[in-house]
């Protein structure tokens, strides 16, 4: 660990090394968390509630102390550093704007406690407000602002003292959908403009996909996979990740043969060839994962490495694509998405169809166990 | 009748019992009592012609014969109607010594048939030759009077109608009023200093522990006031628990036992304890509504714990501080039982003086005036609070 961190020190902003956290001394809510965040990177901690993502953020901010392991910011262990000395900008879930202060006072608060003089404070507050496009609202109280405006003020307040690192804890959770998409764009824009390092926490996989350079997917306090959004979607390494990110057909099966990077799996009475991602041996159980948009209905024979039969149970027309639900491979909810392009064959409910997909679009993953 | 009208009528019917109750047990007595502070008809009712005759008098020298004649007649009648005592009492409060003059004069007049009445009265008692006696009669003869309020403020009306301060040895109420305000302020500050940390602890403790702590605050609140006050006597008296402990530890000598009760110290200690829940509860309810996130946010923004407290937390608790302080202060300035029991002679407050005039001296007019001043003070305070903080922000928990 010392060699790796020493070599990477100058472009590393944050480093988690073997961090454990337990509140009651028995169960670990975060287990052996390791993550290196580069300067200027936008990293999202993604996971369902109870996955430990907020705990990790709170440890980085200094509100919680790790039970074991080390957290470093700019190469220095922050173990004994209180939150106020970490120089981290933080956006809280419900904004935590001080209700008794105007927007201007909220923004100048971190500057006042740092002892900046009035002229400089005014200049920085103005700059921060224009960054979030809220010029001229200094004298409003937080309660007089809309949810979106409050959110912007919270972001401006976390940035006004020019921290190198900004943490955001589900900052868009309280906003409605269209506003959320607008704010996602805006936060990304600010991130690029300021080149600040952002650690972002959300349970919304779409939000994580849109915004992040890299995503750490967490489950029950353990990292399932850390990768860029595309890689998480295209190359999930764990069954949980495949299920959590995007839609996906999951087939439970038993490995029959293994040859190098491929394996053959028996699932629902069909023999299916797949990429061998999990370290599996013949006779072991695996989860096969196939994205619905990679499944072809009634393909020409010989094009796909995997071809099985199925019966159409339900059709939904969704404009840009047709969603087909079938009985196939022993499942009653095998989904295929057929893009709405000219010439796709007419399919009716009750039809018997052939479906196919390539070997490389099918991944043999681990079996998910409940509550590890 | 419309549905809405019927609904309103039914609502009125439901609140009517309470409305009547408040009217009978609160509004009416309060109004009667306040009226007494400015309205005293005893002399005017019993001696109407005397008062009328004194109206002709210019106040110089002695009144005309008509006044003597009317007084002689009406005194005898008042004696027969048993209103003489009231009249004598009222006049006596303006000029002491006149009670006996009145009763003696009325008694002796039985045997006198004819005037001139001036000589007859002066013969019975030389006080009738003094203009001051007649000024007292004229003053008390007014149905509506500012006398009691003047008295309550240590002032008096001079024979020429001007207002002047009472002689030095009779000034008691103003200094007592100030002392009451000062003691109430001290008690309020003590309650705030003691109650704020407790309220904070309860508001931010885990629920189970918070309930236990809250019960600890409320149990004394539910205990009889008399029991609590008596408990303080047991603790604080010269041969009491605390003094015994101090002597045993050697902090004070056996002959140097502290006087902590039957003086102002006792009043302040016992009243602070009695009123503490009234501070803790509003504070608690305000603090509970403040999410812990604000303090986290403040410290993440670089504030020290002290800065976070004074800039972020304290201002948000001000409605509770205001409500608690107002409540404690208002209750304190009207407090009666505790100072009466543990205050001794030095620890008395204005309410004890009101009680004295109600029960012992029977000068209800003065008692009412003192009460009226107290009420005005409380209302003024309330309006001041409304002006500064806004009553709608008052949070009583």
Cα A323 to chain center, whole Å?
26
Which residue has better confidence, B256 or B299? Answer: B299
Does position B397 have pLDDT exceeding 80, yes or no?
Answer: no
Nearest to A83 among B293, B299, B311 (CB): B299
Could you tell me if residue A199 is inside a domain?
yes
**Are A98 and B297 in contact (CB < 8 Å)?**
yes
Residue B392's pLDDT band, with cuts at 50, 70 and 90, is low
Residue written as token pair 């430990």: A52
Residue A179 · residue A148 · CB < 8 Å = yes
> Residue B284's closest CA among B202, B213, B206?
B202
- The answer, for A104 touching chain B at a CB cutoff of 8 Å, is no
Please tell me the least confidently modeled range out of A45-54, A155-164, B116-125. Answer: B116-125
CB B276 within 8 A of CB B195: yes
Domain boundary among A186, A201, A234: A234
Closest to B213 measured CA to CA, from B223, B195, B198, B224: B198
Comparing CB atoms, the residue among A62, A94, A100 nearest residue B293 is A94
Q: Can you give the pLDDT at residue A372?
A: 39
Give the model's pLDDT for residue B55: 86
Sequence-distant (≥ 6) Cβ neighbours of residue B250 within 8 angstroms: none
Q: What percent of chain B has pLDDT over 90?
A: 38
Disruptive mutation site among A83, A90, A107, A159 for chain B (greatest number of B CBs within 10 Å): A83
Q: Return the HEC string of chain B.
A: CCHHHHHHHHHHHHHHHHHHHHHHHHHHHHHHHHHHCCECCHHHHHCHHHHHHHHHCCCCCCCCHHHHHHHHHHHHHHHHCCCHHHHHHHHHHHCCCHHHHHHHHHHHHCCCCCCCHHHHHHHHCHHHHCHHHHHHHHHHCCCECCHHHHHHCCEEECCCCCEEECCHHHCCHHHHHHHHHHHHHHHHHHHHHHHHHHHHHHHCCCHHHHHHHHHHHHHHHHCCHHHHHHHHHHHHCCCCHHHHHHHHHCCCCHHHCCCCCCCHHHHHHHHHHHHHHHHHHHHHHHHHCCCCHHHHHHHHCCCCHHHHHHHHHHHHHHHHHHHHHHHHHHHHHCCCHHHHHHCCCCCCCHHHHHHHHHHCCCCHHHHHHHHHHHHHHHHHHHHHHHHHCCHHHCCCC
| Per-residue pLDDT, B57 | 86
User: Tokens for B87?
Assistant: 């009249």
Both A193 and A55 in one domain: the answer is yes
Higher pLDDT pick, A7 / A94: A94
Whichever domain contains A70, its CATH number is: 3.40.50.300
Taking only the tens place, the pLDDT of each residue in B312-352 is: 999 999 989 988 999 999 999 988 888 888 888 888 889 99
Average pLDDT over residues B14-26: 93
CA distance A228 to A211: 11
Whether A292 and A209 map to the same domain: the answer is no
What local confidence, expressed as pLDDT, does residue A197 receive? 95
Cα(B61)–Cα(A218) distance, rounded to whole angstroms? 105
A234 CA to centre of own chain: 14
> Could you give the 3-state DSSP secondary structure of residue A143?
helix
Residue in B290, B291, B297, B306 to test binding to A, most A beta-carbons within 10 Å? B297
Using a CB-CB cut-off of 8 Å, the residues of chain B touching A90 are 296-297, 300-301
The single residue listed with the structure tokens 């989904």 is: A335
Edge-to-edge strands, sheet with A296-297: A296-297, A352-357, A306-317, A321-328, A331-339
pLDDT digits (tens, 9 = 90+) for B39-57: 988 898 989 999 988 888 8
Token pair, residue B340, equals 């009466």
| Domain assignment present for A164 | yes
How does the average pLDDT of chain B come out, rounded? 89
> CA-CA distance, A86 to B359, in Å (whole number)?
69
What is the reported pLDDT for B2? Answer: 73
Of the listed ranges B24-33, B252-261, B296-305, the one predicted with least confidence: B252-261
Rounded CA gap, B118 and B105, in Å?
A: 12
Q: Average of pLDDT values for A229-258?
A: 91
d(CA B235, CA B230): 9
CA distance, residue B388 to nearest chain A CA (Å): 15
Percent of chain B whose predicted confidence (pLDDT) is above 70: 98
Q: Tell me the C-alpha distance between A132 and A173, whole Å.
A: 18
Domain match, A40 and A65 both: yes
Same domain, A9 and A138: yes
pLDDT in tens, A166-188: 999 999 887 888 888 888 998 99
Compute the distance between CA of residue B246 and CA of residue A182 in angstroms, rounded to an integer: 71
Nearest to B304 among A84, A100, A110 (CB): A84
pLDDT at B1: 58
Q: Alpha carbon of A253 to those of A47, A292, B185: distances in Å? A: 26, 18, 80
Radius of gyration of chain B (CA): 29
Same domain? For A126 and A17 the reply is yes
Chain A residues closer than 8 Å to B297 by CB: 90, 92, 96, 98
Comparing A108-122, A330-344, B169-183, B296-310, which segment has the lowest mean pLDDT?
A330-344
Peptide bond into B116 cis (omega under 30): yes
d(CA B198, CA B314): 14
pLDDT digits (tens, 9 = 90+) for B275-288: 999 999 999 999 99
Same domain, A199 and A309: no
User: How many residue contacts between A and B have a Cβ separation below 8 Å?
Assistant: 59
Q: What is the pLDDT of residue A81?
A: 92
Q: Does A356 touch chain B (CB under 8 A)?
A: no
In a domain, A133, yes or no: yes
**Which residue of chain B is at minimal alpha-carbon distance from A110?**
B301
CB count within 10 Å of CB B170 equals 11
Mean pLDDT to the nearest integer, B120-132: 88
My answer on whether A186 and A289 are in the same domain is no
For residue A371, being part of any structural domain is answered with: no
* Residue length of chain A: 372
pLDDT of residue A1: 39
CB A276 within 8 A of CB A331: no
Residues of B in contact with A161 (CB under 8 A): 301-302
Q: How many CB atoms lie within 10 A of CB A33?
A: 25
- What is the reported pLDDT for A4? 45
Residues A285 and A175 in one domain: no
Query: Nearest CA of chain B to the CA of A54: how many Å?
Result: 14
The per-residue pLDDT for range A174-226, each reduced to its tens digit, is 788 888 888 899 899 999 999 999 999 999 999 999 999 999 999 999 999 99
Cross-chain Cβ contact A83/B291 below 8 Å: no
- The whole-angstrom separation of Cα A282 and Cα A255 is 5
Q: Is residue A82 domain-shared with residue A169, that is, in the same domain?
A: yes
Residue ending a domain, among A208, A234, A260, is: A234
CATH class for domain B173-393? mainly alpha
Q: Describe the strand order of the beta sheet including A197-202 as a list of residue ranges.
A: A88-91, A165-169, A197-202, A42-46, A214-219, A222-227
Instruction: Identify how many contiguous H helices and E strands chain A contains and give both numbers.
Output: 9, 20
Residues of chain B with Cβ-Cβ distance to A110 below 8 Å are: 301-303
β-partners of residue A355 are A297, A308
Q: At what angle do helices A147-159 and A177-194 cross, to 10 degrees?
A: 20
Q: Are residues A254 and A227 in the same domain?
A: no
List the single best residue of A98, A150, A159, A162 to mutate versus B (max B Cβ within 10 A).
Answer: A98
- The two tokens of residue A213 are 């350079």
Each residue's pLDDT tens digit, A36-73: 999 999 999 999 988 999 999 999 999 999 999 999 99
How far is B313 from chain A, CA to nearest CA, in Å? Answer: 9
Give the range among A157-171, A301-315, B196-210 with minimum mean pLDDT.
Answer: A301-315
Q: Are residues A287 and A196 in the same domain?
A: no
Look-up: residue for tokens 């300021």?
A194
Give the residue range(s) of CATH 1.10.3720.10 domains in chain B.
173-393
Of A61, A92, A110, the CB nearest to B302: A110
Give the structural domain span for A269. Answer: 248-365
CA distance B245 to B234: 13
Residues 49-78, chain A: which have Cβ within 8 Å of B?
Answer: 61-63
Helices within chain A (DSSP H only): 2-8, 53-61, 103-112, 118-131, 147-159, 177-194, 205-211, 229-234, 239-244
Structure confidence by residue, pLDDT tens digits, A143-155: 999 988 999 999 9
A241 assigned to some structural domain: no
As a whole number, mean pLDDT of residues B153-180 equals: 86
Give the model's confidence band at B187: pLDDT under 50 very low, under 70 low, under 90 confident, else very high: very high
Task: Note whether residue A332 is domain-resident.
Answer: yes
Among candidate residues A77, A63, A68, A53, the one with its CA nearest the CA of residue A21: A68
Domain count, chain A: 2
Q: For residue B130, is pLDDT > 70?
A: yes
Residue A3: is its pLDDT beyond 60? no
Q: Which residue has the higher pLDDT, B73 or A215?
A: A215
Q: What is the pLDDT of residue B394?
A: 61
Give residue B250's pLDDT: 87
A370 part of a folded domain: no
* pLDDT value of position A7: 45
Using pLDDT thresholds of 50, 70 and 90, give the confidence band for residue A105. Answer: very high
Q: pLDDT tens across A274-301, in order?
A: 999 888 888 899 999 999 999 988 888 7
pTM: 0.79
Confidence of residue B108 (pLDDT cuts 50, 70, 90): confident
Residue B315 to residues A36, B193, B199, B323: CA-CA distances in angstroms?
Answer: 40, 16, 15, 14
Q: Residue B300's closest CA among A95, A101, A229?
A: A95
Token match 């940390």: residue? B197
ipTM attached to this prediction? 0.80
How would you classify residue A25: left for phi > 0, otherwise alpha for psi between -120 and 50, otherwise beta? left
Rounded to the nearest angstrom, the minimum Cα separation between B291 and chain A is 8
Higher pLDDT, B92 or A346: B92
Q: What is the pLDDT of residue A36?
A: 94
Whether residue A83 lies within 8 A of chain B, CB to CB, comes out as yes
Query: Which of A234, A260, A283 is where one domain is finished?
Result: A234
A96: alpha, beta or left? (left if phi > 0; alpha if psi -120 to 50): left
Residue from the list A84, A93, A99 with its beta carbon closest to the beta carbon of B302: A84
Query: Is residue A90 within 8 angstroms of chain B, CB to CB?
Result: yes
Name the one residue in this structure whose structure tokens are 């052996």: A32
Task: Report the distance separating Cα B61 and Cα A199, nearest Å.
Answer: 98
State the CATH number of the domain containing residue A323. 2.40.50.140
Query: In angstroms, rounded to a whole number, what is the distance separating the alpha carbons of residues B15 and B17?
Result: 6
- Please tell me the distance from the alpha carbon of residue B177 to that of residue B242, in angstroms, as a whole number: 31
pLDDT of residue B59: 79
pLDDT band at A345 (very low <50, low <70, confident <90, very high): low
Q: Which residue in chain B has the smallest CA separation from A91?
A: B297
Q: How far is it, in rounded angstroms, from Cα A245 to Cα A237?
A: 12
Q: What strands, in cross-sheet order, belong to the sheet with A68-73?
A: A28-38, A12-22, A68-73, A76-77
CA angle in degrees (0–180, nearest 5) for A312-A317-A318: 130
Tell me: do A261 and A302 sit in the same domain.
yes
Residues making up chain B, counted from first to last: 397
Q: Which two tokens stand for residue A145?
A: 């602002």
């Amino acid at each position: 660990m010392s060699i790796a961190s020493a070599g990477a020190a100058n472009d590393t902003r944050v480093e988690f090394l073997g961090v454990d956290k337990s509140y009651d001394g028995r169960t670990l809510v975060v287990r052996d968390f390791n993550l290196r965040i580069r300067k200027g990177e936008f990293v999202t901690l993604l996971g369902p509630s109870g996955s430990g993502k907020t705990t990790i953020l709170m440890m980085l901010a200094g509100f919680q102390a790790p039970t074991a392991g080390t957290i470093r910011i700019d190469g220095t262990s922050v173990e004994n550093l209180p939150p106020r000395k970490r120089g981290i900008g933080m956006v809280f879930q419900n904004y935590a704007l001080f209700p008794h202060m105007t927007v201007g006072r909220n923004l100048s608060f971190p500057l006042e406690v740092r002892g900046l003089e009035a002229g400089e404070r005014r200049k920085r507050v103005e700059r921060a407000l224009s960054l979030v496009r809220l010029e001229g609202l200094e004298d409003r109280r937080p309660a007089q602002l809309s949810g979106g405006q409050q959110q912007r003020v919270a972001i401006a307040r976390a940035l006004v003292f020019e921290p190198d690192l900004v943490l955001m804890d589900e900052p868009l959770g309280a906003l409605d959908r269209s506003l959320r998409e607008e704010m996602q764009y805006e936060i990304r824009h600010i991130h690029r403009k300021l080149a600040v390092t952002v650690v972002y926490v959300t349970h919304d996989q779409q939000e994580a996909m849109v915004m992040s350079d890299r995503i750490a997917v967490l489950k029950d306090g353990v990292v399932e996979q850390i990768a860029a959004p595309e890689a998480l979607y295209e190359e999930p390494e764990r069954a949980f990740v495949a299920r959590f990110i995007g839609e996906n057909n999951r087939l439970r099966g038993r490995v029959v043969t293994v040859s190098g990077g491929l394996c053959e799996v028996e699932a629902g009475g069909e023999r299916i060839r797949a990429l061998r991602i999990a370290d599996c041996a013949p006779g072991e159980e695996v989860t096969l994962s196939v994205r619905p948009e990679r499944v072809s209905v009634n393909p020409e024979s010989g094009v796909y490495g995997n071809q099985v039969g199925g019966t159409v149970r339900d059709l939904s027309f969704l404009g840009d694509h047709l969603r087909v639900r079938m009985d196939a491979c022993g499942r009653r909810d095998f989904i295929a998405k057929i893009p709405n392009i000219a010439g796709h064959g007419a399919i009716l409910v009750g039809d018997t169809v052939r479906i196919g997909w390539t070997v490389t679009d099918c991944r043999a993953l681990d079996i998910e166990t409940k509550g590890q | 009748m419309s549905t809405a009208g019927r609904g309103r009528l039914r609502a009125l019917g439901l609140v009517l019992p309470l409305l009547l109750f408040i009217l009978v047990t609160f509004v009416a007595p309060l109004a009667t009592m306040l009226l007494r502070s400015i309205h005293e008809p005893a002399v005017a009712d019993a001696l109407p012609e005397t008062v009328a005759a004194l109206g002709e008098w210019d106040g110089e020298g002695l009144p005309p014969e008509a006044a003597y004649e009317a007084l002689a007649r009406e005194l005898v009648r008042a004696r027969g109607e048993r209103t003489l005592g009231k009249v004598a009492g009222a006049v006596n409060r303006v000029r002491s010594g006149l009670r006996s003059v009145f009763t003696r004069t009325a008694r002796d007049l039985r045997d006198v048939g004819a005037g001139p009445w001036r000589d007859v009265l002066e013969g019975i008692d030389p006080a009738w030759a003094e203009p001051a006696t007649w000024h007292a009669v004229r003053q008390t003869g007014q149905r509506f009077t500012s006398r009691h309020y003047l008295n309550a403020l240590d002032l008096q009306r001079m024979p020429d109608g001007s207002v002047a301060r009472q002689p030095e040895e009779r000034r008691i109420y103003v200094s007592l009023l100030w002392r009451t305000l000062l003691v109430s302020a001290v008690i309020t500050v003590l309650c705030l200093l003691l109650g704020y940390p407790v309220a904070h602890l309860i508001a931010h403790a885990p629920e189970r522990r918070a309930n236990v702590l809250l019960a600890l605050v409320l149990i004394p609140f539910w205990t009889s006031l008399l029991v609590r006050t008596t408990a303080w006597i047991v603790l604080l008296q010269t041969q009491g628990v605390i003094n015994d402990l101090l002597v045993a530890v050697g902090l004070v000598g056996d002959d140097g036992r502290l006087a902590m009760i039957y003086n102002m110290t006792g009043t302040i200690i016992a009243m602070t304890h009695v009123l503490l829940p009234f501070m803790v509860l509003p504070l608690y309810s305000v603090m509970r509504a403040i999410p812990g996130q604000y303090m986290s946010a403040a410290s993440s923004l670089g504030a020290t714990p002290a800065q976070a407290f004074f800039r972020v937390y304290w201002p948000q608790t001000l409605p509770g501080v205001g409500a608690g302080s107002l409540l404690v202060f208002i209750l304190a300035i009207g407090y009666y039982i505790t100072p009466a029991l543990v205050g001794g002679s030095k620890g008395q407050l204005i309410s004890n003086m009101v009680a004295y005039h109600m029960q012992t001296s029977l000068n209800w007019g003065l008692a009412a005036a003192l009460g009226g001043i107290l009420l005005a003070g409380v209302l003024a305070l309330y309006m001041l609070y409304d002006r500064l903080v806004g009553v709608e922000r008052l949070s009583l928990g």
